[in-house]
Amino acid sequence: MWAIVLTGPRRTEVVDSWAEPEPGRHDVVVAMSAVGLCGSDLGVHDGTRPTPALPWVPGHEGGGRIVAVGSAVRDRHVGQHVVVEPNYCCFSCSPCVRGMTSGCENRVSPGITVPGLLAERVAVPARFAWPLPDPVGSEVLACVEPFAVARSAVRRAGVVPGTDCLVVGAGSQGLLTCLSLLEAGARVFVTDPRADRVAVAERLGAEPVASGPDAADGRSFPFVFDTAGVPAAWETSAHRVATGGTVMVIGMSNEPVGLSTMELTRRQLQVRGSLIYDHPDDFAATVATAAGAAPRLAGLLRPGVPPWEAERAFAEARTAPGKSWIDLSGWGEDDR
């Protein structure tokens, strides 16, 4: 079976001898069509996010067509097009019992804790393979999962229509957050030091504001969504949020950021981290809107990259504006 495997830091190979998946009774086998790339994948690719073994199949954002079902599966069938919810919660730990599956203590994540989705076929627990109610292009399958991340952050923030919101960072997750806020009826502003990324956000309907905490306009916002998670972005987020406002932190970094308890208290700020989404409602809601959102999602997608050029896709994901993804529809076509 074909697969893209990581053999070392920033080294991938396409192989045709990867083991076929062994589905359990409650699994389905999905022939993958498209896989998106995000910051977590770049950490795996760099080696800064160690994997359990090498060689390793990365990738966790994507979907395809069901080609086999386990003996106990009754609500999925061969031929359905599905998107994978790549965070398999245990349903039994304390956070899961409370309904906060995003905090599952035993979460299994393709591409992170088990081999990922950049393979010709993968086995997925059936309850985490979501059939699409309406047809969408393969490229949309590459961004439904990160769209669910963005929509969940907007839900948790409690944004109401007409609210001014600032998105700090216009990488792919920032762009999806802009889309989610626009979907919620917010007036969306965006800032990023890179003009080409801001230009993509503008095409989606966001309005640009200057970068940096000392921007000349001095404007503040009741909601700020920090999608970068690095100290420079945090400086903007912390200074741009209005008194009594909320900073939703989506981006992650190991580097500490600064906010004194004096400032936190005097400005009466709320700072909340938003990690992935909660099963099943957040993902189900996103899948239900995928077809309607498809034209706008397509507006932030870069052209798909074939498996043979996976390294180019990873490089684009680091620097190029928009969402990078790998088109797996041509497996077996040796056009290298």
Q: Is 114 exposed, middle or buried (0-12, 13-18, 19+ CB in 10 A)?
A: middle
pLDDT of residue 336: 45
CA distance 210 to 215: 6
The pLDDT of residue 67: 97
Residue 110 — φ and ψ, nearest 5°?
Answer: -55, 140
Residue-level pLDDT at 149: 98
- Between residues 245 and 214, which one has the greater pLDDT? 245
Closest CA to 257 of 241, 236, 243: 236
How far apart CA 26 and CA 30 sit, in angstroms, is 13
pLDDT in the model for residue 335: 47
The span from the CA of 137 to the CA of 221, in Å, is 36
Mean pLDDT (whole number) for 107-129: 98
Mean pLDDT for the chain? 94
* The pTM of the whole model exceeds 0.85: yes
Q: Tell me the CATH class for 147-273.
A: alpha beta
What's the pLDDT at 212? 64
Beta strand 81-84 pairing with 129-131: antiparallel
> What's the pLDDT at 214?
59
Q: How confident is the model at residue 215 (pLDDT cuts 50, 70, 90)?
A: low
For 3-142+301-327, CATH number? 3.90.180.10
- In the chain, the percentage of residues whose pLDDT exceeds 70 is 97
Both tokens assigned to 125 = 């627990």
21 C-beta neighbours (distance < 10 Å), count: 19
Which has more confidence, 239 or 332? 239
- Say whether pLDDT at 147 is over 80: yes
Least confident of 215-224, 268-277, 279-288, 290-299: 215-224
Residue 333 has pLDDT above 80, yes or no: no
33, pLDDT greater than 80:
yes
Q: What is residue 331's predicted lDDT score, i.e. its pLDDT?
A: 77
With cut-offs at 50, 70 and 90, classify the pLDDT of residue 112: very high
User: How far apart are alpha carbons 275 and 272 in whole angstroms?
Assistant: 10
Q: Which tokens hold the place of 151?
A: 């929509």
Residue 31 pLDDT > 50: yes
Average pLDDT, stretch 21-25? Answer: 94
Q: Supply the pLDDT for residue 103.
A: 98
pLDDT in tens, 222-280: 999 999 989 999 999 999 999 999 999 999 988 999 889 999 999 999 999 999 999 99
Tell me whether residue 90 is exposed, middle or buried, using C-beta atoms within 10 angstroms of its C-beta: 0 to 12, 13 to 18, 19 or more: middle
Where in the chain are the domains? 3-142+301-327, 147-273
* Angstrom distance (rounded) from CA 29 to CA 198: 39
